[in-house]
Chains A and B, each alone.
Chain A
Amino acid sequence: MTKTYPKASRPSLDNVSVSIEKGEFVFFIGPSGSGKSTIIKMLLHEVSPNKGRVVVNGKDVTTMRSWKRPHFRRSIGCVFQDFRLLPNRTAYENVAFALEVIGKTKAVARRVVPEVLELVGLGGKEHRYPHELSGGEQQRVAVARAFVNRPLILLADEPTGNLDPDTSIEIMRLLDRINRTGTTVVMVTHDSNIVNQMRRRVVEIESGRIVRDQARGVYG
């Protein structure tokens, strides 16, 4: 597919074609402005390609009506560099909020949220506010929120961008564990350390084109 933003001199993604299997763990790497983030946005149906198709979970996102987007998003979890937690809610409430706004009852939240917080290693810190947690812990809350609804896909946009190397590795272990439950993980990063350690599929993008697609790759 091709995506050109208005006012851009060259396409952000130029004739890119990539296929990700269910249960895969894929890194998208490349310098800033190479078009990595555009891929995430397309998978989320935030932007549409000018040419070509985006198919997620067997659904053609390109032709999807915008009113179907909310329901579609429930099958995708998202983690970002800046965590995007609600500062006036505790860890538990942040995760529960994601459930409640899609219509799950409080009873469901009471059952599921402690479970997922335990899974991400935050057992005992449920009632801390984001500012009382370290960066790594905040990102764990974000991962818990993304995963609580058991999505088919987890998108991670530079999830370790704000974290020190040790904490980054812990978050990667967590994503790896989530991947082992059968969840497809798509991660955008330029953290070479992590890519080299994980030895997973690497898709390298430069100036909107795929320059490398390697199973068990390194940052290069």
Chain B
Amino acid sequence: MRMKYVLTEVMVGLWRNVTMTIAMIITMAVSLFMLGGSGLLYQKVSDMKDLYYENIQVSVFLKTDVKPEQRTELETKLKGDSLVKTVDYVNKDEAYKRFQQMYQDAPDLVNAVKPDQLPESFRLTLVDPEQYKQIYSQYKDVAGVDEIVDQSKLLDKVFGVLGGIQTFALAISIVMAMAALLLVANTIQVAAYSKRREVAVMKLVGASNWFIQAPFVLEAVVAGLIGSLFGLVALIALKTLGGGGSLSALEGLISPISWGDIFLVFPLMAGVGAVVSAITAWVTLRFYLRV
């Protein structure tokens, strides 16, 4: 009977102040959506870092007029270097193929470039990608070497942008969470006010504190959970609708977000939504009801 009483009170409470409930759910949903998005991005970025930094390459481009013996000498030297894990030689044809592939969306550019114009190169993977500087200073003046490029520099930029987006989403999530928090506090105050007579009687006859507080706290928790569900729906919508649009531009760079990822991030959203609501409601009650 007590459970039934509490649940009825929760439902009545949510209906009594339905506009406020909706406002609470919407802010909660946006906040948790942003939180979920930020969580997904964080997860993706760390996945990608593992993946890319594993295969990170340093390209040693050769001069177009490089002599075959210079090339062989360099190759032996690189292969003997303890900092270098693998050495991969890319000749002009190979380079042209890669170039074609990379710029397949820009046929004009591809047509304008002849295989001859592209430099040969050695692609190195390093034992420790951080030691790029040593490789650079060691080989930049070797005969036949034109330029040494570290791809991790490029990646750092990409990750910088992604990290920025993630921080932005997190910041919005926090701002919205504060708005949601205030709404929860307000809703609970209104609810407590409209039930002040009942609460006074309950305190008088010795109802336990948890019994007085439970309907209010659960009211906030239910709103938080509904909010997190809407947040989940928004994430799903973003994946289904956004997948074909602007997000596809990033495909190939970002490993695609799977359904599994989304459903993994949901418990985080639901948990944060429920716990934050519960704590806010409880703290509000402590000030407002003094129970």
Closest to A94 in B: B201
Query: What's the least CB distance linking A103 to chain B, in Å?
Result: 7
| B287, CB-defined interface residue at 8 Å | no
Pick from A70, A72, A105: contact of B1, CB below 8 A.
Answer: A105
| A160, CB-defined interface residue at 8 Å | no
Q: Contacts of A86 on B, CB cut-off 8 Å?
A: 197-198, 201
Query: What's the least CB distance linking A73 to chain B, in Å?
Result: 3
| B97, CB-defined interface residue at 8 Å | no
Inter-chain contact B206/A71, CB cutoff 8 Å: yes
Q: Contacts of A70 on B, CB cut-off 8 Å?
A: 203, 206-209
| A145, CB-defined interface residue at 8 Å | yes
Pick from B1, B201, B204, B205: contact of A106, CB below 8 A.
Answer: B1
Q: Contacts of A98 on B, CB cut-off 8 Å?
A: 201, 205
Inter-chain contact B1/A101, CB cutoff 8 Å: no
Inter-chain contact A101/B200, CB cutoff 8 Å: no
Q: Contacts of B207 on A, CB cut-off 8 Å?
A: 70, 101-102
Q: B197-220 vs A: 1/0 string, CB under 8 Å?
A: 110111111111101100000000
Q: Contacts of A69 on B, CB cut-off 8 Å?
A: 206
> Given the complex of chains A and B, what is the CA–CA distance between A102 and B207 in angstroms?
5
Query: What's the least CB distance linking A78 to chain B, in Å?
Result: 5
Inter-chain contact A100/B1, CB cutoff 8 Å: yes
> Given the complex of chains A and B, what is the CA–CA distance between A86 and B211 in angstroms?
18
Q: Contacts of A73 on B, CB cut-off 8 Å?
A: 203-206
> Given the complex of chains A and B, what is the CA–CA distance between A78 and B204 in angstroms?
7
Q: A62-105 vs B: 1/0 string, CB under 8 Å?
A: 00000101111110101000001011000000000110111101
Interface residues in chain A, defined as those with a beta carbon under 8 Å from any beta carbon in chain B: 67, 69-74, 76, 78, 84, 86-87, 97-98, 100-103, 105-106, 145, 149
**What are 6 contact pairs spanning A and B, CB under 8 A?**
A70-B203, A70-B206, A70-B209, A73-B203, A103-B211, A106-B1
